Structure 1
Amino acid sequence: MIVYEFKVKGKDQQYRAIDEAIRTSQFIQNKCLRYWMDNKDSKVDKYALNKYCAVLAAEFPFADELNSMARQSAAERSWSAIARFYNNCKKKVKGKKGFPKFKKNCRSVEYKTSGWKLSETRKAITFLGKKGIGTLKLKGRYNLNYYDIKQIKRVRLVRRADGYYAQFAIDVDIKVESQPTNQIVGIDLGLKYFIADSKGNVEPSPQFYRKSEKQLNRANRKKSKKFSLAKKKTKQRQSNNYHKARNRYARKHLRVSRQRKEYCLRLAYSVIQSNDLVAYEDLNVKGLVKNRHLAKSISDTGWYTFRSWLEYFGHKYGKVTVAVPPHNTSQNCSHCGEKVKKSLSTRTHVCPHCNYVADRDVNASINILRLGLSTVGHTGIYATGDLPSWAVGVSLLSNGESMNVESSYQ
């Protein structure tokens, strides 16, 4: 399964029609969630929510204007949140179980196999239905002529700060044969170095957010100056200048996010192409960001994004990726195995037992590789950022993010 993304070009009235379709999809998603909450005693499953979409279409004229497949896709998004909650309860996950919440700001609407039609040249797409989206031009480097229409299982329209995008989920075998390199590597993820491997190579952390923080704060202040508290209390719309400043601020954040994603993608691709086995830490990033002293730095690194791409390319090129527990990988000596306690500020590993001296992160990467070699099988998880619901059991992400949309240089 691959996901191709194109920027769409249209008129202002078409963009407004896309916004209306997104709001309708959000309305149906929230209505389905409310229907499940009000009928917990009865058996409400995925198929019951799909049938409820027809009831909503008959009751609300604006819901009937949306394509039936798009309505079902919105219902599946609700069911994916419900199913995730049920699974967490069955697995007795510690802490909050992720009870489904109502969506306040959806940024995408998803179509299945109907409600859209590609042009003969595959350079434009026409959305059918009463919303009036019409024909949109597709701007991008990918060529959809290589694939049959039946292979396109989902089409999603996404609204971002810099415009509107169309994503195509295509059912193809992504596995590619590659020649073995006879190389193995262990990777330690850190803050000083983004990665340090068992061969002694290090990659500095790019710190995209830190470098752009002044510009972001300046744009945020300009946005705040144009915000009117009086209009908010009276529930009036903010001025056009406020919305323009808000969009400029959002575009700067979007640029940082894309820089981080592209950096992680290229680095993961390079690591996979150079090695047959890659061992890395199974970090609990969600728990680590609770540290208020390091939360900003951890979020800026993009460890989870790098891991997702690493596992995705490992699956694509037939390489082994092994996630190992990170406990004591920095404390244990990779030469003699003795435990040498040291604080986070100590960046050099000096073993008093065998006099082995190495960089702290390089020492940890050697321990990670040793643990990875002792693990049997492929323990990495496959990156499922944009896979559709029929492939991984959940629907496409409703926030418009695209984790495994490949760049064209691969």
Structure 2
Amino acid sequence: MLVFEAKLRGTDEQYAILDEMIRTARFVRNSCLRYWMDNKGVNKYDLNKYCRVLREQFEWCKKLSAQACQASAERAWSAIARFFDNCKKKVPGKKGFPKFRKHQTPSSVEYKVDGWVLSDDRLTITFRDGFKAGTFKMWGTRDLHFYQKEQIKRVRVVRRADGYYVQFSIKQERNEYHEPTNRMVGIDVGLNHFYTSSEGNKVENPRFLRKAEKALKKAQKRVSRRKKDSKNRLKAIKRLGRTHLKVSRRRKDFAVKTARALVQSADLVAIVDAPAACRRLDLKVRNMVKNHHLAKSISDASWTLFRQWLEYFGKVFDVPVIAVAPHYTSQDCSNCGHEVKKALSTRTHKCPYCGYLDDRDTNAAINILMKALQGLAQLPRGTRKVTPGDEMTLCLDGETQKSKVARRARNPRQ
């Protein structure tokens, strides 16, 4: 499934109608969520039937397309299903109980195959439901002439700080040719450098949020100085939102380009992850953010976003992206396998057993790659083909620290 996006060009009256469409979709979604809270045993199909009740009860709700109402109900059910799934998997911490959408949150309305018409030249789109928003010009770099109109399964109108956008969900598989490089690489993310490869290559951390802090503080002061419920305050809020939007777009652009270049330059990419069996070590990003001294730097680095795009491009280019357990990757020596304890402030790995000297992050990246290759070697014959994005849990369930030390004493290179 491909998602193409273009900006909508219209009048102020049309933008006001889009706001009304988005508010109606949010009302349907919140009403379905309340209906699920008040009635036990409600399933996905009951929420779809409840949309008809809302349309009969509220006249202004009939303006929204029936399929758009069903899409809003499906959004409510996806939040409910995610909560149930987290409870079954016993995810540590909060399970993500569904919340009501507010005006401040990113808002959108989604249509299926009804309620919109795309022009023959693919340059304008017309919304033809009861709101009668009219025709909008689309401004973007994506060309829709390569796809049939039947391939467009969803159309979503999104409101952001700098305007309104339309997104097209197109049913099309994306597969690109990858030229073999005979190169396997392991990477270790960090704060001093965005990531360090097993070959010693380092990518600098851009720190977009740190660079934009001065502009953000200035925009936030303007909001604080304006009177509440005034037009000047609304203008200041929009200006602050556009500044935050610039930071998020720069961060995403950097993650996409870096992940694509890394996948194209290797035949296998090994990354670090905290598997479900070893979550007690609290190495997941959301747990690391609880450190108030490093929270802003970790969020600015956007490791999770980089990981998601790595797995996506791994599937596109058919390159395995393997996630291994992070345990002892920074402490073990990549040359002899002995454990060398070091504090976080120690940035150089020096092994007292074999004399191996290297950068701490480079040593960790080598260990990550070795773990991935070791996991591939342990797979049974005929099942060693790893699909891109698969996770390999290389820690032993129920293994105590004492048994781990004994196993390492028998074979130090493990």
TM-score by length of 2: 0.88
2:93 is matched with 95
Q: Report Cα offsets for 1:230-252 as digits up to 9, x if no partner.
A: xxxxxxxx111001111111111
Q: Helix, strand or coil: the match of 2:352? A: coil
How far apart in 2 are the matches of 1:381 and 1:66?
Answer: 41
Q: Which amino acid aligns with 1:7?
A: K
Aligned-residue offset at 1:46: 1.0
2:154 is matched with 154
Q: Which runs of 5+ in 2 are unaligned?
A: 275-283, 377-385, 392-414
Which gives a bigger RCO, structure 1 or 2 (Cα 8 Å, sep 6+)?
A: 1
Aligned-residue offset at 1:281: 1.0
2:244 is matched with 253
2:68 to 67, 70, 78: 70
1:380 to 372, 389, 392: 389
Q: Which runs of 5+ in 1 are unaligned?
A: 229-237, 383-410
How far apart in 2 are the matches of 1:148 and 1:293?
Answer: 51
Aligned-residue offset at 1:346: 0.9
1:116 is matched with 116
How far apart in 2 are the matches of 1:245 and 1:299?
Answer: 25
2:169 is matched with 169
Aligned-residue offset at 1:95: 2.3
How far apart in 1 are the matches of 2:131 and 2:288?
Answer: 44
Aligned sequence identity (%): 53
Aligned-residue offset at 1:191: 0.2
1:272 to 238, 263, 280: 263
Give the superposed CA RMSD. Answer: 1.3
Q: Which amino acid aligns with 2:146?
A: Y
Say if 1:49 and 1:75, in contact at 8 Å, map to a contact too: yes
Q: Helix, strand or coil: the match of 1:336? A: coil
How far apart in 2 are the matches of 1:253 and 1:288?
Answer: 23
2:230 to 217, 227, 239: 239
How far apart in 1 are the matches of 2:329 and 2:364?
Answer: 5
TM-score by length of 1: 0.88
1:353 is matched with 353
Q: Report Cα offsets for 1:139-164 as digits up to 9, x if no partner.
A: 01111111111111111001111111
Q: Helix, strand or coil: the match of 1:374? A: helix
Aligned-residue offset at 1:381: 5.6
Aligned-residue offset at 1:91: 1.9
2:20 is matched with 20
Q: Helix, strand or coil: the match of 2:322? A: strand
Deviates more, 1:15-24 or 1:94-103: 94-103
How far apart in 2 are the matches of 1:94 and 1:189?
Answer: 23
Give the number of aligned pairs: 371
Q: Report Cα offsets for 1:165-218 as digits up to 9, x if no partner.
A: 000010101122322111110000000010100011000100000011111111
2:382 is matched with none
How far apart in 1 are the matches of 2:89 and 2:64?
Answer: 37
2:130 is matched with 130
Q: Which has the higher Rg, Structure 1 or Structure 2?
A: 2
How far apart in 1 are the matches of 2:354 and 2:366?
Answer: 16
How far apart in 2 are the matches of 1:91 and 1:302?
Answer: 25
Aligned ranges for residues 5-404 of structure 1 at < 5 Å?
Answer: 5-40=5-40, 43-105=41-103, 106-228=106-228, 238-282=229-273, 284-376=284-376, 377-378=386-387, 380=389
How far apart in 2 are the matches of 1:301 and 1:325?
Answer: 20
How far apart in 1 are the matches of 2:193 and 2:202?
Answer: 6
